[in-house]
């Protein structure tokens, strides 16, 4: 797989508080590709310029054909995706805590599910983008920037507690005791969990676990010659068994087998993580 299959574009600086990045995905497929998506701690707004794709939780028999533009909530489990030959996706990756204003409802309502954009403030953007060719990525980004800027004044501010907590978790690379964090904030754990459910979509403990896994993946990717064990130790996993258990919980396989998979399975994730 070449990096041309998946690429990212920065939003306008004025949108950087709510938009992490725009991303495009157009793999060069000769046949359909079955992919595995792991929990990533993010919410994406996905515009489908290509053929419908099939999405289902791993281990489940039922799934859904995604034929429309959607809000995709946080994932707490593995998902299997069947990409068709004509896969053309453009997406807005929101910063944690920024989805609440666009949804106008608690974010945990779309955890592990999708929501048609027709039910959100972004319905008109989806209609406008359908009149642009996917290959004209500059125009796609420009229209999206302009539309989001037009909404900027009406967005509700991100919760002050969430604004304070997220940078703390990021600096700690997810190695955070939630009870201690609650005490330092002067909040009960239940209150903190309620705020995370409303603005992030998952519990703070799960969000921290995801961030720790991301730290491991970034560190392993950027340090040539570093062993899996060395990267796990740097990411503050307690021991080898704890590390493998956590890795399997999020990826469904061992670290060695994960990186032995075809690159197109994990490379887009790693490229995305390097920018976070």
Q: What is the pLDDT of residues 120-167, one digit of tens each?
A: 889 999 999 999 999 999 999 999 999 999 887 655 557 889 989 999
**pLDDT score for 1:** 33
Residue 237 makes CB contacts below 8 A (sequence gap 6+) with 212, 216, 243, 246
Residue 95 DSSP class: P
Domains 3-152 and 160-274 share a fold: no
207 contacts 200 by C-beta, under 8 angstroms: yes
- Residue spans per domain, the chain: 3-152, 160-274
Nearest to 142 by CA among 40, 15, 51, 46: 15
Interhelix angle 240-251/204-222, nearest 10 degrees: 100
Residue 111 is predicted with a pLDDT of 96
Residue 155 confidence (pLDDT): 54
Looking at CATH, the fold of the domain delimited by 3-152 is given as: Jelly Rolls (2.60.120)
**Tokens 């946080």, residue?**
74
Q: How far is CA 173 from CA 14, 127, 138, 177, 216, in A?
A: 26, 39, 34, 12, 9
Helices then strands, counting H and E runs in the chain, come out as 11, 10
Cα angle 34-139-127, degrees, rounded to a multiple of 5: 70
DSSP-derived 3-state class of residue 187: coil
Per-residue pLDDT of the chain (276 residues; tens, 9 = 90+): 334 688 999 999 999 888 999 999 999 888 988 888 889 888 999 999 999 999 999 989 899 999 989 999 999 999 999 999 999 999 999 988 889 888 888 999 999 999 999 888 899 999 999 999 999 999 999 999 999 998 876 555 578 899 899 999 999 999 999 999 999 999 999 999 999 999 999 999 999 999 999 889 888 888 877 888 888 888 888 788 889 999 999 988 898 888 887 766 677 777 777 666
pLDDT of residue 2: 39
| pLDDT value of residue 49 | 96
Strand order in the sheet with 33-37: 33-37, 79-83, 53-57, 64-66
**DSSP reduced 3-state for 186:** coil
Report the C-alpha gap between 211 and 209 in whole angstroms: 5
Q: Residues 190-198: contacts with CB within 8 Å, 24+ apart?
A: 192/161, 192/165, 195/159, 195/161, 195/162, 196/162, 197/106, 197/107, 197/108, 198/100, 198/106, 198/107, 198/108, 198/159
Q: What is the pLDDT of residue 162?
A: 92
Which CATH superfamily hosts domain 160-274?
Answer: Homeodomain-like (1.10.10.60)
Q: What residues does 19 pair with on adjacent strands? A: 94
The span from the CA of 121 to the CA of 153, in Å, is 13
């Amino acid at each position: 797989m070449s990096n041309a299959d998946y690429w990212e574009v920065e939003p306008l600086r004025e949108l950087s508080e709510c938009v992490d990045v725009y991303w495009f995905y157009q793999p060069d497929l000769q046949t359909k590709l079955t992919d595995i998506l792991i929990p990533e701690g993010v919410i994406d707004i996905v515009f489908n310029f290509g053929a419908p794709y099939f999405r289902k939780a791993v281990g489940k028999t039922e799934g859904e054909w995604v034929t429309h533009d959607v809000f995709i909530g946080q994932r707490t489990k593995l998902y299997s995706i069947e990409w068709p030959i004509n896969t053309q996706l453009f997406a807005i990756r929101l910063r944690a805590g920024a989805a609440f204003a666009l949804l106008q409802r608690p974010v945990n309502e779309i955890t592990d599910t999708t929501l048609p954009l027709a039910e959100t403030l972004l319905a008109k953007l989806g209609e406008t983008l359908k009149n642009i060719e996917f290959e004209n990525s500059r125009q796609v980004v420009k229209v999206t920037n302009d539309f989001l800027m037009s909404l900027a004044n009406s967005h509700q501010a991100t919760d002050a507690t969430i604004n304070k907590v997220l940078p703390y978790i990021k600096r700690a690379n997810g190695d955070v005791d939630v009870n201690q964090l609650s005490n330092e904030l002067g909040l009960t754990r239940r209150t903190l969990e309620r705020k995370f459910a409303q603005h992030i979509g998952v519990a703070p403990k799960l969000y921290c676990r995801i961030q720790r896994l991301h730290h491991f993946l970034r560190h392993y990717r950027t340090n040539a010659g570093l062993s899996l064990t060395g990267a796990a130790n740097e990411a503050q996993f307690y021991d080898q068994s704890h590390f493998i258990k956590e890795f399997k919980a999020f990826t469904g396989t061992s670290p060695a087998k994960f990186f032995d998979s075809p690159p197109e399975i994990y490379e887009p994730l790693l490229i995305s993580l390097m920018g976070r």
